[in-house]
Amino acid sequence: MGYMAFVLLAVILLILLTYLRSTLRQATAGFFILLVLGLWTARYPAPVTLTLLGFALLTALVLNLPWLRKWLISRPLFNQAKRIMPRISKTEQEALDAGTLWWDQEIWSGAPEWNKLFAYPETKLTAEEQAFLDGPVEELCSMLNDWQITHKDLDLPPNVWECIKKNLFFGIIIPKEYGGLGFSATAHSEIIVKIASRSIPAAVTIMVPNSLGPAELLMHYGTEEQRAYYLPRLATGEEIPCFGLTGPEAGSDAGSIPDRGVICTGEYQGAEVLGIRLNWHKRYITLGPIATLIGLAFQLSDPDHLLRDQTELGITFALIPRTTPGIEIGSRHFPLNSPFQNGPNKGHDVFIPLDMVIGNRAGLGKGWSMLMEALAAGRGISLPALSTGAGKLASRATGAYAMARRQFNQPIARFEGVEEALTRIAGNTYIMDATRLLTVHGIDNGERPAVITAIAKYHLTELMRSVANDAMDVHGGAGICLGPRNLFGRMYQAAPLGITVEGANILTRSFIIFNQSLLRCHPFLRREIDSITQQDPARFDEALFQHLGFLLSNFSRSLVHGLTGGVLIRPTHGSRVVQGYLRQITRLSAAFALLGDLSLLVLGADLKRREKLTARLSDTIGHLFLTIAVIKHFTNQQEPEEDRPLLHWACRKNLYLAEESLWSFVHNFPLPPLAGLLRLTLFPLGRRLRYPSDRLGHQVAALITAPTKARDRLTLGVFVPAYAEEGTETLSKLDCYLPLMVHCEQAEEKIRMALKQGLLAQSDPLARVAEAEAQGLISAEEAGNLRRLEQLHQQIITVDDFSNLTGEEAL
Ligand SMILES: Cc1cc2nc3c(=O)[nH]c(=O)nc-3n(C[C@H](O)[C@H](O)[C@H](O)COP(=O)(O)OP(=O)(O)OC[C@H]3O[C@@H](n4cnc5c(N)ncnc54)[C@H](O)[C@@H]3O)c2cc1C
């Protein structure tokens, strides 16, 4: 065997063995056999043969004898790593320890196991939950008048507050034994979807007590006494809670709150007790202005060591009654014309007894880990539901509006430019719905997946912004001029709210998602770090060599998949319709894991500062998860034939963007030679995936511009108000318009033909219908339907105007 042939065979063997993820022993045996064969056929002089064999044997021994390997390789690396490893702060550590690993870990494995996806249970609503949606939620939605709330009252009206309290809307997550509804995360999400499709301020008001707040924290960390006292009062709205973390100096960097509590003795209800003296300044606190119970986060210290030897105990949460002396509360912020209650509050030398701390003494200094745990699940429920509710409303209303609104003698939906926006509205809503559902099903199955919920929060609030933009564009002036008939103005204004709260999106995208996933989901990194901090070189050695194998295997897989486009990947599960997408997810997962690993290797601790790079990797893992959710959603819905365009559009868009972010990552990788090698490995034949075609986009838009079953499935959960002839409920009119329009198609065609033949002289639509009826061109029933259609059309295109703009009635 010639030298070149030998090298070539060795490379192929290396790729094959690492592709198949063979063990170190199997790989050593494989190379030995190849070497022996090579030397035998090459017939080198004996000394050369013996030297090469000796060298190979030595390498094999070093790699396969653990004590020798540790001594020569891993121990020096262990010592070096110990010296350079950056210290992980307490708050970082608590963030890393919070929650569970889920599909983020599967993506990081480079080879997701699809049987897990298809076997994953879907939560069905119980009869009681469904009855709640059909009863109290419908009732509440029909009471909500968003224009009245956002323009005139700047608050929810008293009857709405009463309905919220009476029906336990503030106790959705509170268990039944404490007087709440005890609903699943899925039911919670459905409730928010429906209310958000009606009124964002109402949805936010109901969301907050049910997400990151006192109830959630009490359920997990409160003492039994605290739970028994507060949870029933919170469920009925007797206590209105708020949760105060953010302040003027601490927004995104919430761990740095300057608000202070000092352990001391003081007077409480006439007695001298051990407690905490507090000073704080918070802002942006939802429900703050009307809260009766303030959930407060502060830094706690014990300078006189009255409780512990430590001086700084860390972030702590307490539940403080509003009536406690020293609290200044009640003024309001005005968040983008969504007048849910939100405002600042301050405390000056407020003294509270220790039992106001959540968890009492056991909760001292535990606030950050409580928050991270609560965030790990909570972030995946409310904001994704709010965003999806808005998306569903946009899909249902905008598709119909684009058929009702005519310009240049045609429904505007017929123009490709408008169709493009309609496609994005429908396709993105499908992605939002799928992601929301998979995430809440995970939470219902006991997951608290910190990275996945951050992905859901980030992507769905961004998709809501995109859908709101598109809906506004299609509605033109009718979207811009506010009033009771306007469906999207307030939703468009509210889009940045979800983007900013619960981890503002720039930070979530460019820092949190990838960095957390790297440390939490990488199959070996955490074990390496733990072995260093725990001074365990044996564990380090094992993790290090498994890590190297993992890196090499992702390299081989990326190269082979790059060359073959992933055709060698054979998913064992999933129908033929989705298998191509599963293949691409596997291909891109291996590439993602490789780049994640290499970026850490090359940039080390500096990676934390390279946010443009980590943002791209966060986009990749995010879009891959979104694709997974879409496939699962399509499968859960029994793969409806009619929904295939939505499936294909959503998968192709997400996979295209996942590949795009890898592509631009490689092009911006700071080490040009390595960047070149990575380009050749991941994209040996260039980029593989395309954005969904115009033809597919046309099929998607067609689903929401006609009264199809796919449209009903896509917008399931939207609140559709009852039709009233004189009313201003635009959605109810749009909902009547679309089926009638289909029903009138034949009659309209007859009129068009008659016009072409010059049989009709009238230009006014109603007069023309009368003329056609009089001439017997259409029947009386057809004429009646056409008149009704025209009447609906006029109602739909009506835009509110006012005698003055200070909140008077619409003219
Ligand atoms: C309507 C509303 C309701 C709210 N409700 C509550 C509540 O009930 N309780 C509560 O405690 N808080 C609440 N908040 C506060 C909310 O959580 C904060 O607004 C949020 O954490 C961001 O803080 P900030 O507004 O001070 O922005 P800043 O921290 O000033 O951030 C500004 C921008 O910089 C970006 N940024 C900051 N650091 C980084 C970084 N390292 N890398 C990349 N980008 C970065 C952010 O992503 C953001 O885009 C609410 C806010 C609003 C607007």
Note the pLDDT tens digit of each residue in 116-135: 999 999 999 999 999 999 99
The one catalytic residue in 502, 528, 729, 773 is 502
Average pLDDT (299-314) is: 95
Residue of minimum CA distance from atom 2 in ligand 1: 284
Q: What is the C-alpha separation between 499 and 465, in angstroms, rounded?
A: 8
Q: Would you say residue 137 has pLDDT above 60?
A: yes
**Residue among 92, 296, 499, 507 to mutate when testing ligand 1 (max atoms within 8 A of CB):** 507
| pLDDT for position 811 | 41
Q: Tokens 């408008």 correspond to what residue?
A: 418
pLDDT band at 669 (very low <50, low <70, confident <90, very high): very high
pLDDT band at 84 (very low <50, low <70, confident <90, very high): confident
| pLDDT for position 436 | 98
Residue of minimum CA distance from atom 40 in ligand 1: 507
Looking at the chain, the whole-number percentage of residues with pLDDT higher than 90 is 83
Residue of minimum CA distance from atom 24 in ligand 1: 251
Query: What rounded mean pLDDT belongs to the chain?
Result: 94
User: Would you state the structure tokens that stand for residue 507, as one six-digit string?
Assistant: 């930070």
In three-state secondary structure terms, 762 is: coil
Contact predicate 287/205, CB 8 Å? yes
Q: Would you say residue 725 has pLDDT above 90?
A: no
| pLDDT for position 340 | 96
pTM of the complete model: 0.95
Name the residue type at position 83: R
Q: Which of 602, 617, 628 is nearest to 663 (CA)?
A: 617
| pLDDT for position 807 | 54
User: Would you state the structure tokens that stand for residue 508, as one six-digit string?
Assistant: 């979530």
Q: What is the C-alpha separation between 293 and 245, in angstroms, rounded?
A: 14
| pLDDT for position 810 | 45
Q: What is the C-alpha separation between 434 and 387, in angstroms, rounded?
A: 12
More confident residue, 805 or 203: 203
Q: Tokens 């021994």 correspond to what residue?
A: 61
| pLDDT for position 139 | 98
Average pLDDT (690-696) is: 98
Q: Is the dihedral of CA 744, 750, 756, 762 positive or negative?
A: negative
| pLDDT for position 467 | 98
Question: What is the Cα 569 distance to its own chain's centre?
Answer: 28
Q: How far, in Å, are 87, 208, 556, 601, 685 from residue 681 at the CA level?
A: 34, 47, 8, 17, 9
Q: Would you say residue 711 has pLDDT above 90?
A: yes
Q: Which of 430, 494, 503, 422 is nearest to 465 (CA)?
A: 494
**Residue among 216, 500, 513, 516 to mutate when testing ligand 1 (max atoms within 8 A of CB):** 500
Count of alpha carbons within 13 angstroms of residue 75, beta-carbon side = 8
| pLDDT for position 1 | 62
| pLDDT for position 477 | 97
Contact predicate 592/107, CB 8 Å? yes
Distance in Å, CA 20 to ligand 1 centroid: 45
Distance in Å, CA 203 to ligand 1 centroid: 20
Distance in Å, CA 389 to ligand 1 centroid: 23
Quick one: which atom of ligand 1 is closest to the CA of 506? 47
pLDDT band at 56 (very low <50, low <70, confident <90, very high): confident
At 177-233, the pLDDT tens digits run 999 999 999 999 999 999 999 999 999 999 999 987 899 999 999 999 999 999 999
**Residue among 246, 490, 505 to mutate when testing ligand 1 (max atoms within 8 A of CB):** 246
Count of alpha carbons within 13 angstroms of residue 34, beta-carbon side = 20
Quick one: which atom of ligand 1 is closest to the CA of 504? 47
Question: What Rg value do the Cα atoms of the chain yield, rounded?
Answer: 31
| pLDDT for position 44 | 80
In three-state secondary structure terms, 482 is: coil
User: Which residues face 299 on adjacent strands?
Assistant: 260, 315
* Degrees, nearest 5: CA angle 164-170-174: 140
Distance in Å, CA 380 to ligand 1 centroid: 17
Q: Which helix (H) or strand (E) holds 146?
A: helix 146-147
**Residue among 457, 501, 618 to mutate when testing ligand 1 (max atoms within 8 A of CB):** 501
At 545-563, the pLDDT tens digits run 999 999 999 999 999 999 9
Distance in Å, CA 263 to ligand 1 centroid: 29
Residue of minimum CA distance from atom 11 in ligand 1: 245
Q: Which of 794, 799, 792, 800 is nearest to 734 (CA)?
A: 792
Residue of minimum CA distance from atom 4 in ligand 1: 284
Q: Which residues line ligand 1 (CB under 6 A)?
A: 243-246, 251-252, 284-286, 335, 342, 497, 500-501, 504, 506-507, 510-511, 611
Residue of minimum CA distance from atom 30 in ligand 1: 251
| pLDDT for position 90 | 77
Distance in Å, CA 310 to ligand 1 centroid: 31
Distance in Å, CA 259 to ligand 1 centroid: 17
User: Is 249 marked active-site?
Assistant: no
Residue of minimum CA distance from atom 27 in ligand 1: 251
Backbone angles phi, psi at 396, to 5 degrees: -70, -45
Q: Would you say residue 522 has pLDDT above 80?
A: yes
pLDDT band at 808 (very low <50, low <70, confident <90, very high): low
Distance in Å, CA 276 to ligand 1 centroid: 27
CB atoms < 10 A from the CB of 766, how many?
14
